[in-house]
Amino acid sequence: MPSSEPPSGESSAATSIYISLRGKSVPVSRKSSCPETEEKVKRLRRKNTELAVIAKRLEDRARKLQEANLKVVNAPLPVKPGAVEQYKRAFARQRARDLAQHADTLLSKDKEIAALQQECRRLEARTGLGKVQHTHTRVHTQILQLCCLLSVIPLTLSFSLQSQVENEELREELSAVSAQHSSVLEENQKLRAKLENLEQVLKHMREVAERRQQLELEHEQALAILKFKQDEIKRLQRAQLFAKREHEGVVQMLEVRVRELEDKCRNQSEQFGLLSQELDKFRQQASKIDLSAPSLLSHSLSQLPNGIGLTGDTGLSRPERSPATKHRELPSLSLKSTSTSSPSPPKSETTHLSPKSVDTASEVEELDIDVSPAPVSVSRGPAKLQVFIARYSYNPYDGPNDNPEVELPLTAGEYIYVYGDMDDDGFYEGPPDAPLDVQLEHGPSPGIAQISWLPVTIDAAGTSNGVRVTGYTIYADKKKVLEVSSPTAGSALIGPSQIQTLQAAREITVRTMSPNGESNAGSNPGHAACHQLLEP
C-alpha cells in the first residue's frame, strides 16, 4: 500500500488543491512560496488519487467476494461438527493479524501526521500566523480526511483478505465435501443396486413360494383324483368280475341248454329220418295198393312213428295225399316244444291237391336234414335273453349297405346273445339298458358329492341291447343335472352349486344315453339317503 512522505520544503504561493475522496471534492487553498511545498502537495494529490482508485477496486472486490461468500454460505453443504470451531479459530487468528497490520498502518500515519504538523508550524512561522492558521486548518482537514480514508482502507483490505482466506478455506472444504458427497453418492448407488437385487431375489422367492403352494395344492388334488380313480378302477374291476361271473354262469346255463337242444335236435333229426323212411315205404306201398281202399290208407297213416294222423276225403287218391301231408307237417318240427312224446294233430287245409303240390313236396324232400336251432328264450329279469347260432359268416362292410355300422358281424358257429325283441328284419332299435347299483357317496373333498353306478359296457365302443352307448345322464326329479359323455364311466362328481338341487330332489336317477334315445330310469339311492349324505 503506498504511504505519504513528510514535506521537505516550504511554499510561498497559495494554491488551490482539490482532493477527490469517494466522489467528494474538498477544496484546499493556500499560498505557497516554496516550490518544494507545491511538489509535496502534488505528490499528496497523486497519492490521494491512487488511494481513491485502490479504494474503489477494493470495494468492488469486497462486494464480489461478499456475493460469492453469500452463495457459498447459502449452498446446503453438510458441515462437520468440528469444522465450525476450526473456522472460528482461523477467523480469530486472521482477525488478530488484520488488527496488527491496521495498528502498524495507523502508527505510520500518525508519524506522517506529526511530520506534517511540524511542517505546518514551520510554514506558519514564515508566512504569518493568519495564513498559517488557515493553511493549518485546511491541512488538518485534509489530514483528517486522509486519516479517515486510511482508517477505512485497512478495514476494507482486512475484510477482503479475510474473505479471501475464508473463501479459500471454504473452497477447500467444498472440494472435500464434494468428494465426500461423490463417494457417498457412489456408495448410495451401490446400495440402491444391491437393494434392487435383493428386491428381485425377494420377489423371486415369493413367486417360488406361491408356485410351491400351488404345486402342493395341485399335488393334493392329483392325489385325491388318483385315489378316486383307483377306487373307481377297483370298483370297475369288481363290477367286471361280477359281470364275468354272471356271464360265465349264463354261458354255462346256455351251454347246458344248447346241449339239451342239440339232443332234441338229434332226436328230431332221427325222427325226421324215420319219417323219411316211412314216407319212402309209404310211396312204395302206394304204387301197389289199390287207390279205392281208403280204409287201408287210413290204417297205414295211423301207424306213423310221430303219431301224425291225416283226415281227408275218401274220393282222393293216396299218391296225391302223402306229399301234402309231409309238406304240411314240416313246419311243426320246432325245437321250442318241450317234449317229443306228445303228438300234435295236424290240420288239413285242402281236400284237393294239384300236381303243383306234389312238386313242392318233392322239393321239401331234398332239404338238408340238419336244421339250425330255433331261438332259445332265457328269463333274465325284465329283459328277455335270446340265443342264436350263426350258420354263416357275415361282414356288413362287404355288402352294399347304407349303414353297415348298425349291423352285427357274424361268424359261423358262434353264439349270438340278444336282449329284447327284434323286428321282422332282424334289427333292434330300442332303448339301452339302464345302469345298475346307483349309489350316492361323499366326494374326495368337503362340499362335493359322488354318484356311482355300474356301467352297461366296459368297452369305449360298447353297445347295450344292440345300440351304441354314448354316455349317462343324471336326473333329479326328472330334471337333468349332469351329463357324462363316456360309455365306460362309472361315477361323477357333483359340485356345491348342484348339491342344493340334489338336496331338494325326491328321486335321483341315472339313465343310459344312445343315438336311439335314453334308457329307463335306473336304480336310485332314495330320498332319505340323499338328505342324510348331503347334509353339511
Residue 205 above 90 pLDDT? Answer: yes
Angle, nearest 10°, between helix axes 527-534 and 496-504?
140
Q: How far is CA 225 from the centre of its chain?
A: 20
pLDDT greater at residue 308 or residue 509 = 509
Q: What confidence category does residue 337 fall into, taking pLDDT thresholds of 50, 70 and 90?
A: very low
**All residues at 6 or more sequence positions from 169 whose CB lies less than 8 Å from its CB, including other chains:** 87, 90
pLDDT greater at residue 347 or residue 493 = 493
Residue 360 above 70 pLDDT? Answer: no
88 CB burial (10 A radius; 0-12, 13-18, 19+): exposed
* Pairwise CA distance, residues 530 & 505, whole Å: 8
Q: What confidence category does residue 197 fall into, taking pLDDT thresholds of 50, 70 and 90?
A: very high
Q: Tell me the average pLDDT of the chain.
A: 69
pLDDT greater at residue 101 or residue 191 = 191
Q: What confidence category does residue 297 fall into, taking pLDDT thresholds of 50, 70 and 90?
A: very low
Q: What confidence category does residue 1 fall into, taking pLDDT thresholds of 50, 70 and 90?
A: very low
Kindly report, residue by residue over 132-179, the tens digit of the pLDDT.
Answer: 566 667 777 777 777 776 666 666 666 677 777 778 888 888 888 888
* Pairwise CA distance, residues 93 & 105, whole Å: 18
Q: Which amino acid is at 156?
A: T
The three three-digit cell numbers of residue 488, written as one number: 365306460
Kindly report, residue by residue over 50-106, the tens digit of the pLDDT.
Answer: 877 887 887 787 778 777 777 765 655 555 656 667 777 777 787 778 778 877 877
Domain boundaries, the chain: 13-194, 239-365, 376-419, 431-534
Kindly report, residue by residue over 363-413, the tens digit of the pLDDT.
Answer: 333 333 333 444 444 443 444 567 778 888 888 888 777 777 767 788 888
Give the right CATH number for 431-534 from 1.10.10.10, 3.90.1150.10, 3.30.70.20, 2.60.40.10. 2.60.40.10
* Pairwise CA distance, residues 45 & 38, whole Å: 10
Q: Which residues pair with 28 in a beta bridge?
A: 17
End-to-end CA distance of the chain: 109
The position carrying cell 410351491 is: 212
The three three-digit cell numbers of residue 418, written as one number: 340278444
Q: Which amino acid is at 240?
A: Q
Residue 453 above 60 pLDDT? Answer: yes
* Pairwise CA distance, residues 211 & 218, whole Å: 10
Kindly report, residue by residue over 473-492, the tens digit of the pLDDT.
Answer: 998 888 888 888 888 888 88
The three three-digit cell numbers of residue 422, written as one number: 327284434
* Pairwise CA distance, residues 8 & 115, whole Å: 10
- Yes or no: say if 147 and 102 are a contact pair by the CB < 8 Å rule: no
**What whole-number percentage of the chain has pLDDT above 70?**
62
Q: How far is CA 268 from the centre of its chain?
A: 75
Report pTM: 0.27
- Yes or no: say if 320 and 286 are a contact pair by the CB < 8 Å rule: no
Sheet containing 517-518, strands listed edge to edge, beginning at the edge strand earlier in sequence: 479-484, 471-476, 508-514, 517-518
* Pairwise CA distance, residues 268 & 281, whole Å: 19
Q: What confidence category does residue 505 fall into, taking pLDDT thresholds of 50, 70 and 90?
A: confident
Of 169, 170, 156, 157, the residue nearest 71 (C-alpha): 170
Residue 21 above 60 pLDDT? Answer: no
The position carrying cell 303240390 is: 357
pLDDT greater at residue 443 or residue 368 = 443
N residues, the chain: 536
pLDDT greater at residue 491 or residue 122 = 491
374 to 258, 388, 403: CA distances (angstroms): 11, 7, 27
Kindly report, residue by residue over 22-53, the tens digit of the pLDDT.
Answer: 434 334 444 444 567 778 777 777 877 887 78
